[in-house]
Amino acid sequence: MMKELQQGAETNIPVVDLGEIGVGGPEDPSEEDWRSVGEKLVKAFSEIGFVYLSNHGVPSNMVDEVNTQSGKFFELDETTKLRYKRGKTEVQGYTTPGQERLITEGDVRELRESYDVQHMDGMFPDEEVSGLRPSVKVLIEACKKLASRLLTAIAIGLDLDRSFFVSTHNQMCSDNNSSCLRLLYYPSVPTNVCEGATRCGAHTDYGTITLLFQDNLGGLEVRDREGTWMNANPILDTVLVNVGDLLQYWTADKLRATEHRVLIPKEEMLKKIPRRSVVFFVHPDNPVLVKPIDGSTSYDPVTVKMHIDKRFEDTYQY
C-alpha cells in the first residue's frame, strides 16, 4: 500500500485583473495599462510563479465547447483512441494513462489521458468527433492572442523591450514551435486504486508560460518557496497562468517555474466524477537560443528544440 499524499493548504496565489490587456480589449492599450499589469505579473511570478487572471477575455463558452467535444473522444473505446496516439517528441495526438510519467521513481500510477494539438492540419479524430477540430481552432487563436499580450506585459514588467518575448514566439502552434493546446481528462478513480496514486505527478512545465482553464472540481496543488503544497482551486472566470522552465532560464531565476501536481481527491463522491481541463503550453520558436538576459552563467545556453525534446524523452514511456 502506498503512503497517502498529504493534501494542500489554502492558497495565496494572487489574482490580477488584466483590464484593457485582455483578449477583446483595444489593440493598443495605454503604456500605463501595460506597465501596471506587467509589474503585477512579474511580482507574482517572482514570488510564487503562478497567478490567476480575471478579465482575460477568452470566452468561457469556447472552453466549455472544447471540453464537450474532447469528452466525446475520451469516452471512445481504447482501440479507437489508440489510432490517434502521439509520439515521444511528435506533439500531436492522444496520450494513454501511464504513457507520460512525470514521477519516475517508485511504482506510482498517474491516472490521466490527454490529447495534444500542435497545429490545426495535424491528426484529429474527425471521423469520430467532427466537432473537435473547429472548437479547438477558435480556442487556440484566442489563447495565442492572450499569450502574446502576456508576453508583452512581462517584458515591460522586466524593463525589457516590449517585443523581447513576442519576437521569439512568432510561430506558435506550428511545425517550428511546440506550443500546443492540451485537452486533459482525469477519469473516475477505480475502486482498487490506493490513496498513493495520483492524477498528475509533481513537475514544472517546459516552456515560457502555461495557461490553464480548470473545471470546477479542482485538485491542482502548487508548491511554494518554503516547500508547502497549496491548493490552486478554480476561481470562476479566471485563467491560471504559471512560469515554465525556459522563462526561468531566461530570467536567471528571477521568475520561477514552480512545481505543481494534481492529486486524487479524498472525497468518494469526487473520485467518481471525471475531471477535465484545458491547457495551453506556450513555447518559443524551436531555433531560439535561450540564455540568461542578465549576462550571467546561471544556465548554459540551450535551443528551445533541444530543451523540449529532452524533457519529452525523459517523461514519455514506450
pLDDT digits (tens, 9 = 90+) for 244-275: 999 999 999 999 999 978 776 665 445 567 78
Residue 188 is assigned to a structural domain of this protein: yes
Residue 214 is assigned to a structural domain of this protein: yes
Instruction: Name the domain count of the chain.
Output: 1
Residue 26 has pLDDT above 70, yes or no: yes
Residue 235 is assigned to a structural domain of this protein: yes
Residue 183 is assigned to a structural domain of this protein: yes
Residue 285 has pLDDT above 60, yes or no: yes
Residues of the domain holding 215: 15-315
Residue 36 is assigned to a structural domain of this protein: yes
**DSSP notation for 82-115:** HTTB--SS--SEEE-TTTB-S--SSS--B--EEE
Residue 45 has pLDDT above 90, yes or no: yes
The residue to which cell 514511456 is assigned = 317
Report which of 305, 303, 306 is spatially closest to residue 289, judged by C-alpha positions.
Answer: 303
Residue 1 is assigned to a structural domain of this protein: no
Q: Can you give the CATH number for the domain in which 69 is found?
A: 2.60.120.330
- Between strands 180-186 and 198-203, the pairing is unpaired
Residue 210 is assigned to a structural domain of this protein: yes
Q: How confident is the model at residue 279 (pLDDT cuts 50, 70, 90)?
A: very high
For the chain, the average pLDDT equals 87
Residue 3 is assigned to a structural domain of this protein: no
Is residue 237 within 8 A of residue 54, CB to CB? The reply is yes
Determine the Cα–Cα distance for residues 314 and 36; give it in Å rounded to an integer. Answer: 39
pLDDT digits (tens, 9 = 90+) for 87-97: 766 789 998 87
For residues 98-107, give the mean pLDDT. Answer: 53
Answer yes or no: pTM beyond 0.85: yes
